[in-house]
Amino acid sequence: MVDTKNNMIDSIGMKSAGPERKQPWDTEGPVVRLVCPDCQGELRVEGDELICGACGAVGRYLDGVPCFTDAKYYWGEVPEQTMRLANELADAEGWQAAVEKTVPRAELRQYICDARRADFQYLWDLPADATILDVGAGWGAIAAALAVNFSRVVAAEGVYERTRFIEKRARQSGLTSLQAVCADFLRLPFAPGQFDAIVLNGVVEWIGLASPEGDPRELQLRFLRRMRELLKPSGLVCVGIENRVGWSMFRGAPDHSGLPYTSLMPRALARYWCRRNQGNYRSDKNASYRTYTYSLGGYRRLFHEAGFEGFQAFHAYDGYNKPSVLLPLENQRALLHFVKRLELGRIGWRGYVREKILQMAARTGVWARGASEYIFLLKRS
């Protein structure tokens, strides 16, 4: 079935938009199946609309992006007007020039553009024809870097302006294997059992905001169980996230509330504190305290309860958004080797003391429990 704008979908499969793009969903293996985000029923296309037999119209194609959310909803690191401008400039001058012109902060530009942000993919052992889902894909940095190496990458993102950007980025970079889908964390429109890997980079902590009600941990569990369902039996999930009790939190780094120290507080106190002081950090939905992170043990329990096994934890030494050094936390020898390679002794007695402290932290497990940011690899059990 072909719709009027050349956005193609058959009753079960999603295909890329626009006549100028190849149809990877069609020609390079099994398609990625879209289903109704509410009842998981089959979808059909009528005009621009995506229709479920039971629920009616549940989405529509907007500029080549299948959209299942309110396209007016916005949150982000830059104001909505700036994001709109970035999209207009991307059309006129290309996505990279658009970022240069609209994002003044160099660190944010790197976050948007740097392909090394997906370097965790080299921990995987996935074939090139793997199908990968990046949930909460942001500006598409990770999804785009994955699409260079894998034949089907879906970037699911809840903010339509961001999915528009990803779509332009994919098209302009010739990444025919990358498709953006605009959808909510808690209403993802994918049929089960079709992904080899799912990326959740900077996402699990925000799940509590996807619903104004319900216990955030329960929502995170529901979301993770759904991720498990979307995976093939041998599939894996890669999670990048902060440590609730990480070293940087004790040093006053802002938590996801926008305030320091809130992750360290008991949840009830954090809620009270945020209600008094908070300024809706990054999202007008970000009120009270619903952005839960956990300790290393807390993550282990959360993922286990959600049905994942094969838990591997890495310390993302420069942060999970720059995964250039990933230290396997269960390998004490690797940590000690890393300390040796830092050659701290060469910078005098302070370096020597630091070296001894790090060695002790590695031997006692304090390093693993106090690392500021983690990357976890989880296997479907």
Ligand X SMILES: C[S@@+](CC[C@H](N)C(=O)[O-])C[C@H]1O[C@@H](n2cnc3c(N)ncnc32)[C@H](O)[C@@H]1O
Binding site for Zn ion (CB under 5 A): 36, 38-39, 41, 52, 54-55
Least CB distance to ligand X at residue 74 (A):
9
Return d(Cα 124, Cα 119) in angstroms, integer: 10
Instruction: State the binding partner of 137 from Zn ion, ligand X, none, CB within 5 to 8 A by kind.
Output: ligand X
By 3-state DSSP, what share of the chain in percent is helix, strand and coil, each rounded to 5? 40, 25, 35
Judged by CB, which is closer to ligand X: 130, or 180? 180
Least CB distance to Zn ion at residue 71 (A):
19
Return d(Cα 134, Cα 157) in angstroms, integer: 8
Do the beta carbons of residue 244 and residue 293 sit within 8 Å?
yes
Least CB distance to ligand X at residue 136 (A):
3
Instruction: State the binding partner of 118 from Zn ion, ligand X, none, CB within 5 to 8 A by kind.
Output: none
Judged by CB, which is closer to ligand X: 13, or 76? 76
Instruction: State the binding partner of 57 from ligand X, Zn ion, none, CB within 5 to 8 A by kind.
Output: none
Q: What's the start-to-end Cα distance of the chain, in Å?
A: 37
Q: Applying CB under 6 A, which residues contact ligand X?
A: 75, 136-138, 141-142, 157-159, 162, 184-185, 201-203, 206, 210
Judged by CB, which is closer to ligand X: 202, or 235? 202
Residue 373 tokens, joined: 């940011």
Judged by CB, which is closer to Zn ion: 34, or 203? 34
Least CB distance to ligand X at residue 202 (A):
3
Contacts of 182 (CB under 8 A, 6+ apart): 62, 65, 66, 67, 68, 69, 71, 156, 157, 158, 159, 160, 163
Do the beta carbons of residue 177 and residue 150 sit within 8 Å?
yes
Rg of the chain in Å (alpha carbons): 21
Instruction: State the binding partner of 159 from ligand X, Zn ion, none, CB within 5 to 8 A by kind.
Output: ligand X
Instruction: State the binding partner of 36 from Zn ion, ligand X, none, CB within 5 to 8 A by kind.
Output: Zn ion
Judged by CB, which is closer to ligand X: 158, or 370? 158
Instruction: State the binding partner of 55 from ligand X, Zn ion, none, CB within 5 to 8 A by kind.
Output: Zn ion
Judged by CB, which is closer to ligand X: 157, or 373? 157
Least CB distance to Zn ion at residue 40 (A):
7
Judged by CB, which is closer to ligand X: 32, or 67? 67
Q: Is 24 exposed, middle or buried (0-12, 13-18, 19+ CB in 10 A)?
A: buried
H-assigned helices in 137-264? 141-149, 160-172, 216-230, 247-250
Instruction: State the binding partner of 136 from ligand X, Zn ion, none, CB within 5 to 8 A by kind.
Output: ligand X
Q: Report strand pairing: 131-135 vs 195-201.
A: parallel
Least CB distance to ligand X at residue 149 (A):
17
Return d(Cα 319, Cα 95) in angstroms, integer: 25
Closest residue to ligand X: CB criterion: 158
Least CB distance to ligand X at residue 256 (A):
9
